[in-house]
Amino acid sequence: MNFISPTHGPMDFDDVFDDILNYAQANPEEKYLLIIGTDSQQHENKGAVCYVTALIVHRQGKGGRFFYRREMDRMSRSLRQRIFYETSRSLVLASVLTEKLADSGQDFNIEIHLDVGNNGATKNLIKEVVGMVVGSGFHARIKPESYGASSVADKYTK
């Protein structure tokens, strides 16, 4: 898994993980939250969909930093399929991250931010994708609280 850090440039997953731990260890008295959110954007002119998954470490009340990975997919999907695919991409990263955290003896709360909300075309999908996330053992957030997907990841899908 390759990521991009606005601060450090391209990084592999192990470097991202180390950076997150170092960031948290710099101020161990603070509370931290790991946020994962995925968004997608159909690019008609390129004949592909751009998926971006953001990984944010939030030092609660004091800012944070983030990393993202971008992938172009030529497979055409309906909006419903894209939302489920976004959710599954976030869950895969959350699972890998949880395993690595457990191996290192670290404990962070993890939230999955979903690009669905009570307004718009995705409102009928909320129950299903929130169920996927909660059933996988993670906390779920939807719009307008899901800034990991709807703001951070969204910015890099363009």
Is pTM beyond 0.75? Reply is yes
- Beta pairing, strands 109-113 & 64-73: unpaired
User: Which residues have C-beta within 8 Å of that of residue 96, sequence separation ≥ 6?
Assistant: 1, 13
Q: Both tokens of residue 106?
A: 């670290």
On the CB side of 117, CA atoms within 13 Å amount to: 10
pLDDT computed for residue 144 by the predictor: 96
pLDDT at site 46: 73
pLDDT in tens, 126-139: 999 999 999 999 99
Q: Which residues lie across from 111 on neighbouring strands?
A: 35, 139
State which residues form the domain around 109. 2-155
pLDDT value of residue 118:
97
pLDDT, position 75: 86
Three-point CA angle 2, 131, 102, nearest 5°: 45
Domains in the chain: how many in total?
A: 1
Q: What is the pLDDT of residues 53-72, one digit of tens each?
A: 999 999 999 999 999 999 99
- What lies within 8 Å, CB to CB, of 39 at 6+ separation is 51, 52, 86, 115, 149, 150, 153, 154, 157
